[in-house]
Amino acid sequence: MSRKISAEALIFDFDNTLVDTHSAISNAYKQVVDSISVRSGLDSNYLLQELLKAQKEVIDDKPLAYRIYDRKAVIAKLNENLSLKLTENDIEDLAKGFYRFISEKINYSEDTESILKEFKLRGKKLGLLTDTDVRPGLKNERLSRLNFTKLFDVIIIAGESIPQRKNSNIPFLEISRLLNVVPSDTVVIGDRMDADVDNAKEANMKAILIDKYLPPNSGVHKPDAVIHELKELLEIVE
């Protein structure tokens, strides 16, 4: 049984914590490569593997401080690597289609809203801290489609609401300040060891890792708990 974690406020990550962004991205990528396949005659499965390699070059292999989740740059890298001869307009249209897909196809556990409401009933403050989707306004559009986001006392889109992104502990300290809760009385729930757990710990906060949608990546600090389902929080956080 996981040990109890005392907290006055809970700060949630969004992507792959509250919603299944991983599946949405996978399906959006399939839409991109299917479109390129029609134009180029190349096999979609081959294109998908090459697109994932391009993502590794552009995003995954970058240190956290320099990591920007720019899917247009990924498509441009694929174009460069395979000499596809896509125009700038072609790449922009494919990127728009990608972002439109992930904005419209948002899946999450049906008990998410009831879990957040329960914490509100317990007198907990709720914060949502998420990184920008690169394109200004896109993350806010995605959030506005979900009723449960109205339950948060404070929402910060790092890189838009404030200049700093979630590659340091600054956004964590800022949302704690806005919630009017000292960091040590705050627990962060997120899916990434580096962006969520490490930065929370560097801000003197508690941290819970959720591995429902993605396997954990590497980090420096150890989380206070690891969960697979959000509902486990109801038994852990007091």
Lookup: tokens for 169: 């502990």
> Element (H or E) spanning 35, and its range?
helix 21-40
Are both 121 and 195 inside the same structural domain? yes
Are both 48 and 164 inside the same structural domain? no
pLDDT at residue 11, as a whole number: 98
Q: Please identify, among 104, 124, 141, the residue that sits at the C-terminal boundary of a domain.
A: 104
With respect to residue 196, please indicate whether it lies within any of the assigned structural domains.
Answer: yes
With respect to residue 1, please indicate whether it lies within any of the assigned structural domains.
Answer: no
Q: What's the mean pLDDT in 198-209?
A: 97
With respect to residue 2, please indicate whether it lies within any of the assigned structural domains.
Answer: no
Are both 192 and 95 inside the same structural domain? no
- Give the Cα separation of 34 and 41 in Å (integer): 10
Are both 147 and 169 inside the same structural domain? yes
pLDDT band at 209 (very low <50, low <70, confident <90, very high): very high
pLDDT at residue 64, as a whole number: 82
Q: Please identify, among 39, 74, 104, the residue that sits at the C-terminal boundary of a domain.
A: 104
Residue 159 CA: distances (Å) to CA of 28, 35, 68, 123, 171: 23, 31, 11, 29, 9
With respect to residue 83, please indicate whether it lies within any of the assigned structural domains.
Answer: yes
With respect to residue 189, please indicate whether it lies within any of the assigned structural domains.
Answer: yes
Are both 69 and 124 inside the same structural domain? no
What CATH number does the domain containing 14 carry?
Answer: 3.40.50.1000
Nearest one of 129, 162, 163, 126 to 143, comparing CA atoms: 129
Q: What's the predicted TM-score (pTM) here? A: 0.92
Are both 91 and 124 inside the same structural domain? no
Residue 198 CA: distances (Å) to CA of 138, 168, 172, 213: 26, 9, 11, 19
Taking 60 as the threshold, does the pLDDT of residue 1 lie above it?
Answer: no
Lookup: tokens for 199: 């930065």
Q: Please identify, among 104, 123, 148, the residue that sits at the C-terminal boundary of a domain.
A: 104
Q: What's the mean pLDDT in 88-93?
A: 97
Mean predicted lDDT score pLDDT of the chain: 95
Are both 77 and 46 inside the same structural domain? yes
Are both 195 and 84 inside the same structural domain? no
| Domain ranges, residue 76 | 22-104
Residue 124: strand pairing partners: none
Number of folded domains that form the chain:
2
Residue 165 CA: distances (Å) to CA of 170, 195, 197: 8, 10, 15
Model confidence pLDDT, tens digit, residues 76-87: 999 999 999 999
Q: What's the mean pLDDT in 48-70?
A: 93
Residue 207: strand pairing partners: 188
Nearest one of 212, 174, 173 to 190, comparing CA atoms: 212
User: Which has the minimum average pLDDT: 1-15, 139-153, 224-238?
Assistant: 1-15
With respect to residue 223, please indicate whether it lies within any of the assigned structural domains.
Answer: yes
Q: How many residues in total does the chain contain?
A: 238
